[in-house]
Amino acid sequence: MKVSMALKVFRDYHKANLRKSTTAGYRCMLNLFEEFFGSKDFGSLSSEDLYHFLEMITEGTAKSTKGHRYSQLKALFNFIIMNYELDLANPLDTPLMRKTFRNPKTQPRKVIPKEIIDELIFNCKDLRDRLILELQAKCGARIGDVLKIRVKDIDGRRIIVRDPKSGKDNEVIFMPEQVANKLRTYIQEKELKEEDRVFNLSYTSALTMINAMGERVGIKLNPHDLRRHSATFASRNGVPIEIISKVLLRHQNLKTTQLYLGKVSDAEAIRWMDILHGE
């Protein structure tokens, strides 16, 4: 099988089964791979060929980018080998390749205590800004999704997210009753129409606002910290991780959700043991 044919099969599979964002993420690497090896036999490519190719396309990039390109190329070879039952070991699966192009270890994510989040929200006098904070910190909404909300997307305690980051046609953000009531009040006060965006704010302006609020209480704060807080707070209050993943964060898999959850301290671990088994 020629490399060009293998790539066609791989691209067709992506187009039929994967999200557009995933397909787009592979595009650059696959185009370069075809440019260099398109006329060659797929099974003839050696570890040395692929090592030099990866070095060339990732020169000057971050370690995470090197690891990402390596993972993409390895996925291509695994797909073709498995689906065409080729008697071929994956040439990317070698100690040298894994060591050179491995992804950096993920650093533990900072989780802001609930008391500080509550203080941020309590001290926010502008209803628009408070709603943006609460939709992230209490409903797990992405800042990009919050800024896209139109009046017509709101249905009681549900917000329909159109063209979300996940690649689905739409997702649903669920709201606590008090947040839904405040949102309804805000829309009425602003006399917004069905097609109007609820928060007529750019991403840069929203980021500046959230950064400034963090400075007021002495912390560095970005929009994703609020979304991460929603997941950790739910987890610490006994909400099943499946609900956090599918309902609150709207992730495709649980592994992604687990990256959002803060590290459990020894004191908290002991507290939960007492809750579960204490007399």
Residue with the larger pLDDT of the pair 183 and 270? 183
Please compute, for residue 208, the number of CA atoms within 13 A of its CA located in the half-sphere on the CB side: 5
pLDDT of residue 167: 64
Q: Give me the pLDDT at residue 164, please.
A: 75
Backbone angles phi, psi at 33, to 5 degrees: -65, -40
pLDDT band for 162, please (50, 70, 90 cuts). confident
What pLDDT is attached to residue 268?
Answer: 59
pLDDT of residue 265: 62
Domain spans in the chain, listed from the N-terminal domain onward: 3-101, 114-274
Class of domain 3-101: mainly alpha
pLDDT at 177: 93
Residue 108 confidence (pLDDT) above 60: no
Q: Over the stretch 203-243, which tens digit does the pLDDT of each residue have?
A: 999 999 999 999 988 899 999 899 888 888 888 888 888 88
What CATH architecture applies to the domain 114-274? Orthogonal Bundle (1.10)
The closest of 134, 114, 105 to 234, measured between CA atoms, is: 114
Q: What percent of the chain has pLDDT over 70?
A: 87
Q: What's the whole-number mean pLDDT along residues 184-209?
A: 94
pLDDT score for 242: 80
What's the whole-number average pLDDT of the chain?
87
Whether pLDDT at 76 is above 80: yes
pLDDT at 116 over 60: yes
Residue-wise pLDDT for 242-274, tens only, equals: 888 877 877 766 666 666 666 656 665 676 567
Instruction: Go through the chain and tell me how many residues it has.
Output: 279
Q: Band the pLDDT of 126: cuts 50, 70, 90.
A: very high
In whole angstroms, what is the distance from residue 268 CA to residue 279 CA?
17
pLDDT at 276 over 70: no
